[in-house]
Chain A
């Protein structure tokens, strides 16, 4: 469902994997994790920062409230304890002078890949498995906290993401993570932040070649899951009609059908979006739309259904999956009252989320809405509302910027995750320093 990173002249590049050593190590690590935590991962064990930190003098954008000039943000034990213009700074607190800077919540990328694989190379990704009916697949144990891409993403002030599995139809579950920690347990925010369903062109084959077939199969899976839940004893005695998927896949759909986990539906064409809204009504689901190229055409219906939309604000190239692509999609949706979440498939990487927000503003969205669309809106849509704002009690994921975070002239100067300042060195900065003078010093 993400557009491929490769471009026209490039097309796809099947990399013939010649990294057996790396793969071997990774396999061992995944197996080990599987043995230790067969069903669920324990809660985060990242040691939170302890001593108080006071960030002072900045213009603070809490998102949950109005902008605070010359504000202070107080952090303790990995949480925000106070935000305001007149915050009493406890004795012994570490003071960080942020005069002239901007402070925002850490940005959250709602359609991310970082960490799913060690290198960022497509062939080493861990975010998809074969087959089309994979509701039980969750890529958590394929996340590598040492992945190069995680450090790069942080340099763009992106502190968290929803890692959306790739593939068609029911590709799997999407975990939400913070982009810091030595072990995946440290990173996890929510193991199952969403179940993904693709209703776009990608899934026609799953339905036998027609969108109508795809919809019929979705309903059969949902109905079978409900039937299975009602008649488990019959299922165990084999006294039930054959079901449309293995029991573990149906079981995995139940949290969605109980409304506990949102169904993130990828849909671009207007009729696919309307089909998504039908599923929401029929099964009383929590739904988040992904991509939504023609969402602007049914903005009022989407708003009335209370469905947030995750979209790429620069997507304006028509395809037969979405002929109505236009740059002001986000703007029109906001005007209709839809909660818009900004993501992007920029091949420059997920670090560029802030520029996607800037482009949404360029295309007519308000700056405040754009900031919300990369902070609070994704946190709310995917159910982790202790992230995404600067307010007492919230997790201290935040960024000190040199200026307007959406523009090229500014940079993330300090990035805090759970109250800890993160390193902003990457492979890229090390290569730069190595080749700054030519020939490079040996």
Chain B
């Protein structure tokens, strides 16, 4: 199973299965050679050929030195009047006494702030693309409660005009998930937000796959006429799928060991779930209610896997101790809620209380609007926590949209903080990212300046945006 992995990729996966509650990130590992395409499949037991390989290439750029800015590293520090130097797609150093190499582009950061690139663990950009017609409604394969065989990357439309809007919000990496109609909705894709013609050009090389689970109301509503139609039916559906996957995994493990006779038949559905059982594919679980999170954690124990993160965990604060003990993150909003019964109990202090309990909180969006202002959702949750008297630092809050989502996606060895050796996913903000008035001014994606608010030639437009000039309009 490890033969498709680069050494760095394996290190990430090893951390993915590492379990309980560790808050410390693993030491930065060497990133995969940027120009080397890492095989897409991390778990294939079935084919010897690579599947849907990333063709993303890091761009060659001169070194960049940002000077005189307030730097929020998401690694424990907020440094005033500091500099960030990056070269060849990697952070070289962060500190107060840096000098610019002779070939460096120097950016004056006076009065400005620098953070790591923002990471969204929960997006549907590309699979529910604008302009929002039936034609690009590709997020839910709502034809069976278990569709572990579908891959989100096969739906992503790289010309979704929402992608450049998210880039302008400082987002550099996102996990695109299938929708939540199904118990098991399919594999996620982790992509960089960069101009691209194909999704392969966006795929984060070596990123492990995730798989989307959905608890509660959605599956039982969508399938009420054929089942599951209850929460107990949901759980039975999961267990049946994993019983099959266990058998599938055993058949393949046996054959891979001795290679005798014909290979077992290939089944995409069980292949994905066998990847979960091996710890190669992370479980990304849409789950609102506290009691249901506890059920899912027990399901994971029954079959011997981990749940990497709950998503939309509106009631995470009620079981934050359980999340900490299980090493499961909570991807949440600051203040959404009330839109259905299982979302009835939102509180503004959710992220703060989860953090206080020692579990990983993540601010996620599930929204093409929200992804443009993730710093604002972070700020709302931060100030709510502080006002409620919960001990919380700005560094911990910045982690909710950078280092912690990097961990959820298995990328924390490579990105999510401003530390030497990490990938140069960097945002320069016009002001404090905790303020409503601040905007992402420049966004570097692995050292590539993909957005500059002050330079219209550095503002990417998708094909959909081309040629849409209103008649008689001056601006």
Mark A residues whose CB is within 8 Å of B.
5-11, 13-15, 119-123, 148-149, 270, 294, 296-297, 314, 316-320, 323-324, 332, 347-349, 351-352, 355, 358-359, 361-362, 406-409, 411, 427-429, 431-432, 435-436, 438-440
Contacts and interface: CB of A to CB of B under 8 A. Distances in A.
Given A122-B339, A317-B368, A428-B348, A435 B317 contact: yes
Given A149-B338, A317-B130, A362-B439, A408 B367 contact: no
B388 A432 contact: yes
A407 B436 contact: yes
Given A6-B339, A323-B131, A355-B376, A436 B353 contact: yes
B470 A411 contact: no
Contact of A8 (B131, B357, B366, B472): B366
Contact of B369 (A11, A317, A411): A317
A408 B436 contact: yes
Contact of A438 (B286, B321, B345): B321
Interface string B334-374: 11101111001111110001000100000000111100110
A408 B376 contact: yes
A126 B434 CA distance: 37
A439 B357 CA distance: 11
A323 B272 CA distance: 39
Interface in B400-444: 434-439
Contacts of A349: 335, 338
B435 A431 contact: no
Contacts of B317: 432, 435
B180 interface: yes
B360 to A, nearest CB: 16
A77 to B, nearest CB: 33
5 contacts: A8-B139, A296-B473, A319-B131, A362-B438, A436-B388
A5 B321 CA distance: 30
Given A14-B221, A316-B165, A323-B131, A347 B353 contact: no
B377 to A, nearest CB: 8
B313 interface: no
A171 to B, nearest CB: 20
Interface in B7-52: none
B303 interface: no
B179 A409 contact: no
A440 B373 CA distance: 33
A427 B423 CA distance: 43
| Binding site secondary structure of chain A | loop
Given A316-B165, A348-B335, A9 B286 contact: yes
Contacts of B181: 11
Contacts of B90: none
A163 B80 CA distance: 47
Contacts of A319: 130-132
Given A119-B338, A409-B434, A320 B380 contact: no
The 10 A-B residue pairs with the shortest CB-CB distance, nearest first, are A358-B436, A8-B128, A348-B335, A120-B338, A8-B124, A408-B379, A13-B340, A9-B179, A438-B321, A5-B339
Given A352-B335, A432-B388, A10 B180 contact: yes
B143 interface: no
Nearest to B334: A348
B63 interface: no
Given A7-B367, A9-B180, A317-B161, 9 more contacts: A8-B139, A13-B340, A317-B369, A347-B336, A351-B335, A359-B376, A408-B376, A432-B349, A435-B318
A252 to B, nearest CB: 31
Contacts of A407: 435-437
A19 to B, nearest CB: 9
Contact of B339 (A13, A406, A432): A13
A120 B340 CA distance: 8
B474 to A, nearest CB: 10
B353 A121 contact: no
Nearest to A428: B347
A353 to B, nearest CB: 12
Interface string B273-312: 0000000000000100000000000000000000000000
B321 A121 contact: no
Contacts of B345: 427, 431
B177 A408 contact: no
B217 interface: yes
B209 interface: no
Contacts of B437: 358, 361-362, 407
Contacts of B475: 296, 332
Contact of A320 (B133, B177, B368): B133
